[in-house]
Amino acid sequence: MSWISWDALEKMPELTKEEAGRALDAACSQVIRNLDQFTDHFQKAYSENGFYSPTENVDWTPGFWTGEIWLAYEHTGNEALKKAGELQMASFLKRINEKQDVETHDLGFMYSPSCVAGYKLTGSRVGREAALKAAEELITRFHEKGQFIQAWGPLDAPDNYRLIIDCLLNLPLLYWASQETGDPRYKEIAERHIHTALSNVIRPDFSTWHTFFFNRETGEPDHGATCQGYRDGSAWARGQAWGIYGTAIGYKYTKRESYIPVFEGVTNYYLEHLPEDLVPFWDLEFGDGDDQPRDSSSASIAACGLLEMAKYVEPEKGALCRSLAARFMKSLTEKYAVKDFDSSNGLVLHSTYSNHSPYNTCNHYGVDECNLWGDYFYMEALTRMYKDWNVYW
């Protein structure tokens, strides 16, 4: 295997604002083409042979499809998109009212790009009610012993007393809920979770654990473990990207200066483990020459994190963050974005959801396919490059 050198990184051109706008035009036309099939239904988490099939409002991922609809609405002003977004927010309200499949920390992934976004864009009361109820549900997963929000499963499950790095992106829902209601409970829990997460999932070399267990009796940190990475001790490419975007968001809300070196550390580790075209393999253990699938969604997530953090750091560092993000997006738009809409109904190819290895605990699906968050964050990064965007998170 080999990873990119800094020289090679600098040789990758940056995507320009005009190119970002054109890529966004293309993505929006694909979203609009998909409305017939995916207004009453959502896209499944991942494509099969390049095509998403319709699903009910289940799983942790449908909010990304609604988020794509809102981003496309922002870019085009097309009223059909607004109508579809409104219908889908009603579905999210039903889901939280009926508590269907909400026993998870992923309520932020579900409700921020769908309902918070719809509320911010259109003032929807349905979106507001749904997102506030989701925030209320999310804080029930906070454990005083250990000071974290439990990721998966029932709260009394004997084998799941853990957080996962992805959760950093679920917390903006809580900050929004506190801003909206004036009730500090939500953001206080978010802040405590961020502190626990960043104190434990970041290793000394700034690679990251996917999941981290705590002792149920004492709350003491116990051990890290991977689920979707290649092995314990490697850095799952998407987990590292959640770490980049997650620390940027952590800084946005807390303004804790100690999070800046964490952001720089996890970003540097990521950069040092990229292949030549800047789109990582599914685990950062792998590089050019390894016969492994990519995770293009990781590059889009990292680009969004860089573009968010660019707002807060000193101008020189901000320019570097923007430049890196623009290089990631150049590679994604040129080599990974769907160009022929008859060959796929997604936006970005070569992403990996869950790749089973002899050393991890995940099931095997969505390998080298499109996936919903890959498509969503690709559009978000392009939007961030194209205009001054009012963030959904």
Catalytic residues: 106, 166
Among 44, 95, 187, 238, binds ligand GLY (CB under 6 A): 238
> Measured at CB, which residue is nearest to ligand GLY?
166
| Residue window 331-360: x/- pattern of binding to ligand GLY, with contact defined by CB under 6 A | ----------------------x-------
Asked if 307 and 245 touch (Cβ cutoff 8 Å), the reply is: no
The least CB distance from residue 362 to ligand GLY, in Å, is 9
Using CB under 6 A as the criterion, what x/- string covers residues 203-232 for binding ligand GLY? -------------------------x----
Residue 166 beta carbon to ligand GLY: minimum distance, rounded to whole angstroms = 4
Structure-token pair, residue 49: 């042979």
Q: What is the torsion angle, in degrees rounded to the nearest 10, for the CA atoms of residue 391, residue 240, residue 171 and residue 225?
A: 170
Give the shortest CB-297-to-ligand GLY separation in angstroms.
8
Token reading at 124 = 């929807």
Q: Which of 234, 225, 235, 289 is nearest to 267 (CA)?
A: 235
Which residues, 6+ apart, have CB-to-CB distance to 367 below 8 Å?
282, 293, 352, 353, 354, 355
Please, are residues 263 and 312 in contact by the beta-carbon 8 Å criterion? no
Could you tell me the smallest distance in angstroms from the CB atom of residue 236 to ligand GLY?
A: 9
Least distance (Å) between residue 353 CB and ligand GLY: 6
Q: Which is nearer to ligand GLY, 52 or 119 (CB)?
A: 52
Q: Which residues within the stretch 145-174 sit at the binding site for ligand GLY (CB under 6 A)?
A: 166
Strand 211-214 relative to strand 162-164: parallel, antiparallel, unpaired? antiparallel
Q: How far is the CB of 315 from ligand GLY (least distance, A)?
A: 32
> Could you tell me which of 12, 62, 14 has the C-alpha nearest to residue 41?
62
Residue 328 or 373: which CB sits closer to ligand GLY? 373
- Left, alpha or beta for 320 (phi > 0: left; psi -120 to 50: alpha)? alpha
Gap between the Cα atoms of 10 and 6, Å rounded: 6
Closest CA to 329 of 356, 346, 347: 347
Looking at the Cβ atoms of 196 and 211, the one nearer to ligand GLY is: 211
The answer to whether the CB of 72 falls within 8 A of the CB of 32 is: yes
For residue 144 the two structure tokens come to 């005083």
Per the CB < 8 A criterion, the answer to whether 143 and 214 are in contact is yes
Q: Does residue 330 belong to the site contacting ligand GLY (CB under 6 A)?
A: no
Query: How many chain residues touch ligand GLY (CB under 6 A)?
Result: 4
Closer to ligand GLY by CB, 162 or 238: give it: 238
| Residues at the contact surface with ligand GLY, assessed by CB under 6 A | 166, 228, 238, 353
